[in-house]
Amino acid sequence: MPVKKISILGATGSVGQSTAQVILAQPELFDIQAVTANSNAELLAQQAIKLKAKQAVVADSSAYQILKESLSGTGIEASCGRQALLEAASAPCDLVMAAIVGFAGLEPIMKAIGSGANVALANKEPLVAAGALVMEAAKKNGCHILPVDSEHNAIFQVFDEGQRRGIERLILTASGGPFRTWTTEQMATATLEQAVTHPNWSMGHKISVDSATLMNKALEVIEAHYLFNMDADKIDVVIHPQSIIHSMVAYEDGSILAQMGAPDMQTPIAYCLGWPDRIRTPGLKLDLKKLIKLDLEPVDTEKFPAIGLAYSCLEKGAAACVAFNAANEVAVEAFLERKTGFTDIVETVRKVFDTIEFVPLETLDDIVSFDGAVRTLAKSYMNNDQHRKKVYLA
């Protein structure tokens, strides 16, 4: 593989750090342009030095002093603020790893696409909120969106575009999260610690909570719709507690192609970093001699209403998807701050979904301003709701 010039947005996060591990196992294959983070300047500086990056950016300006001091004498350029982040995202590169969490990653992704780079996309929320815009911009600029999310990466690996007409369904697998076997009553008492302890994957807090509500899978249904241009009624979700089959594509002749691997993000990350070649990872590998069981079971959509809401969003259109994501981000943040109960998260999303007016959205500005309006509404529900569940502490 020829040397690839790469920037990593959200380098200090869970996906960002796994990306750095894959790169550092074979640094001769990569030339790192920019690494960015929100505020963890110390870790970012260490990463920038190890990865021999040209520049490091913290979005939060209050972290700049530490970044600057930590990088002094290294020759690595330090900068800060949202504008610096957007500039770093558009610095000339072959590939940008988009691993910021949340809607905050949308504009950086659009900048990366605008620069003509391919985008390895972990950051699913922007695709949920602005899937059509992102995919159209990628097409217009001739760049590939390479899915990092393990399910979509699995589908990408077995989705034969040349045989699209023969593809009947996409089947997303879901581990079921930490509360798969809990009752709704038990879930109402879930603590933050219980919600962020995922049975198979080690991830950032926001996506861990999303995995516990199954909101993560709900977001992934919408993500799959946009990434693979598939109608909602051709996307299924199945529970697979072992997280070994990462997802599947069903063809009309009855063949179902699956991608398997250990639950380690280094595999889909390496696939995207190497694409169209394959590269090594120092991560976990599946030992089939030790493989015990592959269970598949239907999702309990009554216990996990987020899944049904995702299909309703795809029926209603783009504004519903923006609202779905924005309300969830607000509610998860409140839960992470111990200001609301676990089952309030999806209830808030449903309440927003039931009351919001779904306006037509065309431009990035339309989406950003609608996202802001939904956040205000979701916050007002969270602050005023008399029926809010008790917050359970560990």
38 touches ligand NAD by CB under 6 A? yes
Task: Choose from ligand NAD, Mg ion, none: what does 125 bind? Cβ within 5-8 Å by kind.
Answer: ligand NAD
Amino acid identity at 294: L
Q: Which of 20, 22, 32, 37 binds ligand NAD (CB under 6 A)?
A: 37
Nearest to 97 by CA among 58, 149, 137: 149
Give the residue with the Cβ less far from ligand NAD, 101 or 167. Answer: 101
Using CB under 5 A as the binding rule, whether residue 107 contacts Mg ion is answered as no
Task: Give CA–CA dist 246/294, Å, rounded.
Answer: 11
Q: Which two tokens stand for residue 265?
A: 């993000």
Dihedral, 376, 377, 379, 381 alpha carbons, nearest 10: 160
Instruction: Report CA-CA distances (Å) from 323 to 165, 210, 379.
Output: 32, 16, 13
Is 223 a binding residue for Mg ion by CB under 5 A? The answer is no
d(CA 270, CA 19): 8
The candidate with the shortest Cα–Cα distance to 303, out of 345, 353, 343, is 343
Q: Within 13 Å of residue 167, how many CA atoms lie on the same side as its CB?
A: 22
The residues near 136 (Cβ < 8 Å, ≥ 6 apart) are: none
**Nearest-CB residue for ligand NAD:** 13
Answer with the entry of ligand NAD, Mg ion, none that 47 interacts with (C-beta below 5 to 8 A by kind): none
**Residue 344 contact among ligand NAD, Mg ion, none, beta carbon within 5 to 8 Å by kind:** none
Binding footprint of ligand NAD, residue count (CB under 6 A)? 27
Residues 142-171 close enough to bind Mg ion by CB under 5 A:
149-151
59 binds, among ligand NAD, Mg ion, none (CB under 5 to 8 A by kind): ligand NAD
Residues, the chain: 394
Q: Does 99 bind ligand NAD (CB under 6 A)?
A: yes
State the Cα–Cα distance between residues 384 and 387, nearest whole angstrom: 9
Of these partners, ligand NAD, Mg ion, none, which one is at the site of residue 14 (CB under 5 to 8 Å by kind)? ligand NAD
90 near ligand NAD (CB under 6 A) = no
- Give the residue with the Cβ less far from ligand NAD, 8 or 250: 8
257-286 residues in contact with ligand NAD (CB under 6 A) are 265
For residue 281, give both structure tokens.
């990872």
Q: Which of 4, 6, 7, 15 binds ligand NAD (CB under 6 A)?
A: 15
With beta carbons less than 8 A apart as the criterion, state whether 154 and 131 touch.
no
Interface positions with Mg ion (CB under 5 A): 149-151
Interface positions with ligand NAD (CB under 6 A): 10-16, 37-38, 40, 59, 85, 99-101, 104, 122-125, 149, 201, 203-204, 206-207, 265
